[in-house]
C-alpha cells in the first residue's frame, strides 16, 4: 500500500513538474503579441492597432472562442484589416496573457464588462464587436449590456443558445475545487499535447486548416494549468448562462451579421445561428453550405465584407455567400 502510494506521489510530482516546465516552454514559443492593461483589479491583455490615414472602418473588437487566445483572430484578420480601422484583439480573462480576475469573469457577462472597461481605458467609445464561437456569447452579451458601445455585431459560428446534452466530462472535472487544480497540473498537459492536431482538424472540419495554423495561433497556451481551468469553467457554465441571457437578444438593435456553416462539428448551427437570426431584429444570416466552425479563416473575405456593410459600404453578402459555397462544394453536407 505504501509503495503504491509512493509511486503515485512520485508520478504525480513528475507530471506536475513536466507541466510547469512545458508551460514555460510554450510561453517562450508563443510570446505575448500584445500589452497588458490595468482595467481595475485585473491586467487585461490585448493587441491594439491604430487606424491608418485612409481608414474606412470604425473600430473593431475581436473576441476569440473557447480554448483560444488573441492570436487566433490576429492571424485571421490582421493582414486584411490593419490600417483600415482601429483594431483591438483581446485575450479574454484567464486566457492567453490576461489575468482571470474574480468570479464575475467565470461568466460571459463578466467578460463582456471587462472588455468594455478595456475599451474605456483605450479611449474606444464604440466598435463593431466580432465574436467567434464562445466569443459569440460574449459579443451578444456585450451588445445587450453595452449598446452605447456597440456600433455593430458580427457573430461567427457563435455559441449563444441552450442546447440539449452537455459538454465533455473533463471540463467539469477541471473546474472542481481541489481535484480540478490537481487534474490541470498533472493530466492536462501530457494528454493535451497529443490531442492538439486532432482537435484542430475537428474544429476546422470539414474544411482544412491553414498549414501554419497551430504554429501561428498557439493553441497549446490553453494547456497551462490556470488557463485550462479558466477555459473549463467557461465551457462548463455556458449552457446555463445562455439559457437565461438568450431571452434578452431581442433587445439588440445594432446592425448584426451572423455567419454560419451547415457542417459545424463543434456547435449546433441550427440551434445557435438560426436562433440568433430569429431573436435579433433585423439581423442578416449568412448560411454557407460546406462551411464548418471556422468562418474567420475559411470565409474571411465574407466576414470582412460584413464589417464593410455594417460600416455603410454597399455589399451583397448573400451573393458572396453563394460564391463561397461554390468553392466549398466538395464539403457540402449531404
**Tens of pLDDT along 33-63?**
999 999 998 999 999 999 999 999 999 999 9
- The answer to whether residue 171 sits within a structural domain is no
- The answer to whether residue 264 sits within a structural domain is yes
Cβ atoms of 57 and 307 within 8 Å: the answer is yes
Q: Give me the mean pLDDT over the 4-27 stretch.
A: 80
Pairing of strands 284-288, 35-38: unpaired
- The answer to whether residue 78 sits within a structural domain is yes
**Tens of pLDDT along 120-141?**
999 999 999 999 999 999 999 9
pLDDT(334) > 80: no
Structure confidence at residue 2 as a pLDDT band (50, 70, 90):
low
Q: How many domains does the chain have?
A: 1
CA separation for the pair 46, 116 (Å, rounded): 13
| Average pLDDT of the chain, as a whole number | 95
| Rounded (10°) CA dihedral 8, 198, 91, 166 | -80
Q: What percent of the chain has pLDDT over 90?
A: 92
Q: In what order do the strands lie in the sheet with 35-38?
A: 35-38, 43-49, 87-90, 60-63, 127-132, 150-156, 256-261, 284-288
- State the pLDDT at residue 5: 57
- The answer to whether residue 226 sits within a structural domain is no
pLDDT(165) > 80: yes
CA separation for the pair 294, 133 (Å, rounded): 9
**Tens of pLDDT along 246-280?**
999 999 999 999 999 999 999 999 999 999 999 99
- State the pLDDT at residue 333: 59
Q: What percent of the chain has pLDDT over 70?
A: 96
- State the pLDDT at residue 331: 72
Residues facing 62 on adjacent strands: 89, 130
CA separation for the pair 21, 8 (Å, rounded): 20
- State the pLDDT at residue 1: 62
Domain that holds residue 208: 30-164+200-216+237-331
Q: Which of 8-17, 76-85, 112-121, 298-307 bottoms out in mean pLDDT, i.e. has the lowest?
A: 8-17
- The answer to whether residue 113 sits within a structural domain is yes
- State the pLDDT at residue 14: 83
Structure confidence at residue 13 as a pLDDT band (50, 70, 90):
confident
What is the CATH classification number for the domain harbouring 260?
3.40.50.1820
Nearest in space to 275 (alpha carbons), one of 265, 294, 260: 260
- The answer to whether residue 129 sits within a structural domain is yes
| pLDDT greater at residue 92 or residue 2 | 92
- The answer to whether residue 73 sits within a structural domain is yes
**Tens of pLDDT along 200-239?**
999 999 999 999 999 999 999 999 999 999 999 999 999 9
- The answer to whether residue 314 sits within a structural domain is yes
Amino acid at each position: 500500500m505504501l509503495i503504491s502510494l509512493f509511486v503515485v506521489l512520485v508520478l504525480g510530482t513528475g507530471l506536475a513538474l513536466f507541466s510547469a516546465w512545458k508551460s514555460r516552454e510554450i510561453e517562450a514559443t508563443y510570446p505575448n503579441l500584445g500589452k497588458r492593461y490595468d482595467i481595475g483589479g485585473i491586467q487585461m491583455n490585448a493587441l491594439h492597432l491604430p487606424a491608418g490615414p485612409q481608414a474606412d472602418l470604425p473600430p473593431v473588437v475581436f473576441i476569440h472562442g473557447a480554448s483560444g487566445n488573441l492570436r487566433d483572430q490576429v492571424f485571421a484578420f490582421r493582414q486584411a484589416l490593419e490600417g483600415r480601422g482601429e483594431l483591438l484583439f483581446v485575450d479574454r480573462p484567464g486566457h492567453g496573457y490576461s489575468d482571470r480576475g474574480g468570479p464575475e469573469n467565470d461568466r460571459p457577462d463578466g467578460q463582456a464588462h471587462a472588455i468594455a472597461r478595456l475599451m474605456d481605458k483605450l479611449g474606444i467609445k464604440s466598435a463593431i464587436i466580432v465574436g467567434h464561437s464562445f466569443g459569440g456569447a460574449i459579443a451578444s452579451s456585450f451588445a445587450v449590456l453595452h449598446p452605447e458601445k456597440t456600433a455593430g455585431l458580427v457573430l461567427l459560428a457563435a455559441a449563444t443558445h441552450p442546447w440539449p446534452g452537455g459538454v465533455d466530462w473533463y471540463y467539469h472535472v477541471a473546474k472542481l475545487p481541489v481535484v480540478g487544480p490537481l487534474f490541470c497540473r498533472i493530466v492536462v498537459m501530457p494528454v493535451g499535447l497529443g490531442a492538439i492536431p486532432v482537435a484542430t482538424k475537428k474544429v476546422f472540419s470539414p474544411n482544412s486548416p491553414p498549414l501554419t495554423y497551430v504554429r501561428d495561433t498557439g493553441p497549446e497556451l490553453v494547456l497551462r494549468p490556470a488557463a485550462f481551468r479558466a477555459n473549463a469553467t467557461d465551457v462548463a457554465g455556458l449552457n446555463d448562462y445562455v439559457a437565461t441571457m438568450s431571452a434578452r437578444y431581442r433587445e439588440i438593435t445594432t446592425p448584426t451579421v451572423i455567419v454560419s456553416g451547415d457542417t459545424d462539428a463543434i456547435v449546433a448551427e441550427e440551434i445557435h445561428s438560426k436562433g440568433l437570426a430569429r431573436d435579433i431584429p433585423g439581423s442578416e444570416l449568412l448560411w454557407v453550405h460546406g462551411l464548418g466552425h471556422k468562418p474567420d479563416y475559411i470565409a474571411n473575405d465574407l466576414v470582412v465584407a460584413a464589417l464593410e456593410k455594417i460600416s455603410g459600404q454597399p455589399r451583397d453578402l448573400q451573393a458572396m455567400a453563394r460564391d463561397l459555397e461554390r468553392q466549398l462544394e466538395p464539403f457540402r453536407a449531404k
